[in-house]
């Protein structure tokens, strides 16, 4: 006869066997089992990309207008008249750099340098001057477009790295707008002028350093450069466009033929030593103006940008080296990206400013 202890063992064994059998049946069942997956490290969705530099024009430091690459062509310097009868001019707003040079009688003439933009009409185009060689030598092998010049000047240009393009000998690229009277009626287009030398495909070196940050300087609202009675120039800073606008006689806007006012992101005053002769430039007895721009030349300068004036000096070692504009600490003064006007002012003159 079984004891109660034996009965309890038997019941416990029966329950244990039944549980084991249940586990076996469950394992053999066709019902899918639930699997718990191990979490794997998530793949990173962050990709590393390198920003593609935006192409900038070598002579403005600004992005190429309309996007795309820098045009593969040299600097094109066009001699544009600035005698009162020659105004209003055309195409200057498309130039990268404009040099204003004193010529006989202390009237002024422009060397308008194009590279990154085209102009549908440029002019009026006038004759070359010897001072052009010193201005343009720093641009490598530029094309200089002009209408004639005296023989010593033309001979010196031909002996320099500058490519001589006389519109007077290339009448097929000239145009004479209605309403213009000689000698202020000779114009051309940048496309036609570059088209005379299609194999020249090397852009010029940069002349300036550029920065969007305005250096420390003295606040300036206006500056006056009184070249002469025909060229009494005033630049006024307009903070709404972060640029200087050009006027004559203090209040008359300097307008182009299409109604655009001449405006500059930078105005660089370069004080230069001026001398006269030895050649007669015209029948009135005006002597050729010479400027000491190289070699190993130097002088005072003031850079105007962002509504401030940064005084300093300029220096240039050779014809082919760019002019450096340095602050009082001897550091290169960065310009604001955009168009620059370089005013070649006789070092006997003083530029008046209004704070």
Q: What is the C-alpha separation between 321 and 295, in angstroms, rounded? A: 9
Cβ-contact 223, 351 below 8 angstroms: yes
The three-state DSSP-derived secondary structure of 182-243 is CCCCCEECHHHHHCCCCCCCCCCCCCCCECCCCCCCEECCEEEEEEECCEEEEEEEECCCCE
Q: pLDDT tens for residues 70-101?
A: 999 999 999 999 999 999 999 999 999 999 99
> What pLDDT is recorded for position 45?
53
Higher model confidence: residue 24 or residue 134? 134
Q: pLDDT tens for residues 154-194?
A: 999 999 999 999 999 999 999 999 999 999 999 999 999 99
Q: What is the DSSP secondary structure assignment for residue 130, as one 8-state letter?
A: T
> What pLDDT is recorded for position 293?
98
Closest CA to 59 of 133, 119, 138: 138
Domain assignment of residue 190, yes or no? yes
Name the burial class of residue 321, with classes exposed (0-12), middle (13-18) and buried (19+) by CB atoms within 10 angstroms of its CB: middle
Name the β-bridge partners of 101. Answer: 109
The whole domain housing 196 covers 76-354
Domain assignment of residue 189, yes or no? yes
Q: What is the C-alpha separation between 292 and 270, in angstroms, rounded? A: 11
Domain assignment of residue 57, yes or no? no
Q: What is the C-alpha separation between 279 and 286, in angstroms, rounded? A: 9
Domain assignment of residue 226, yes or no? yes
Domain assignment of residue 344, yes or no? yes
Residue 255 has which token pair? Answer: 């307008």
Domain assignment of residue 27, yes or no? no
Domain assignment of residue 52, yes or no? no
Q: pLDDT tens for residues 24-53?
A: 333 333 444 444 444 444 554 555 556 667
Q: What is the C-alpha separation between 302 and 258, in angstroms, rounded? A: 31
Cβ-contact 128, 103 below 8 angstroms: no
Specify the number of domains making up the chain: 1
| Residue 285, domain CATH | 3.50.90.10
C-alpha pair distances (Å), 126 with each of 122, 163, 297, 327, 345: 11, 16, 28, 35, 21
Cβ-contact 74, 145 below 8 angstroms: no
Name the β-bridge partners of 276. Answer: 289
Confidence bin at 6 (pLDDT 50/70/90): very low
Name the burial class of residue 25, with classes exposed (0-12), middle (13-18) and buried (19+) by CB atoms within 10 angstroms of its CB: exposed
Domain assignment of residue 98, yes or no? yes
Q: Is the pLDDT of residue 285 over 60?
A: yes
């Amino acid at each position: 006869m079984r004891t109660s202890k034996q009965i309890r063992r038997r019941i416990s064994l029966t329950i244990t066997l039944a549980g084991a059998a249940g586990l076996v049946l469950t394992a053999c069942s066709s019902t899918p089992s639930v699997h718990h997956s191990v979490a794997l490290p998530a793949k990173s969705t962050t990709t590393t990309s390198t920003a593609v530099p935006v192409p900038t024009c070598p002579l403005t430091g600004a992005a190429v207008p309309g996007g795309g690459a820098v045009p593969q062509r040299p600097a094109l310097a066009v001699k544009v008249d600035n005698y009162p009868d020659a105004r209003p001019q055309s195409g200057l707003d498309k130039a990268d750099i404009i040099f204003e040079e004193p010529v006989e009688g202390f009237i002024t003439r422009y060397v308008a340098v194009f590279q990154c933009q085209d102009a549908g009409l440029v002019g009026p185009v006038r004759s070359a001057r010897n001072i052009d060689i010193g201005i343009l030598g720093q641009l490598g092998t530029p094309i200089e477009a002009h209408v004639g010049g005296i023989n010593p000047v033309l001979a010196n240009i031909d002996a320099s790295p500058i490519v001589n393009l006389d519109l007077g000998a290339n009448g097929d690229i000239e145009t004479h707008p209605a309403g213009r009277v000689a000698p202020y009626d000779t114009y051309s287009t940048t496309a036609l002028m570059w088209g005379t030398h299609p194999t020249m495909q090397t852009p010029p070196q940069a002349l300036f350093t550029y920065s969007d940050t305005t250096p420390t300087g003295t606040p300036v609202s206006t500056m006056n450069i009184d070249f002469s009675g025909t060229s009494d120039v005033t630049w006024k800073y307009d903070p709404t466009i972060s640029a200087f606008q050009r006027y004559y006689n203090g209040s008359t806007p300097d307008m182009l033929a299409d109604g655009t006012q001449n405006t500059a992101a930078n105005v660089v005053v370069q004080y230069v030593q001026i001398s006269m002769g030895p050649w007669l430039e015209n029948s009135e007895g005006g002597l050729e103006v010479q400027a000491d721009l190289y070699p190993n030349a130097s002088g005072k300068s003031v850079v105007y940008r962002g509504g401030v004036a940064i005084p300093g000096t300029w220096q240039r070692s050779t014809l082919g080296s760019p002019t450096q504009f340095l602050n009082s600490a001897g550091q290169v003064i960065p310009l604001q990206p955009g168009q620059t006007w370089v005013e070649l002012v006789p070092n006997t003159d003083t530029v008046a400013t209004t704070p």
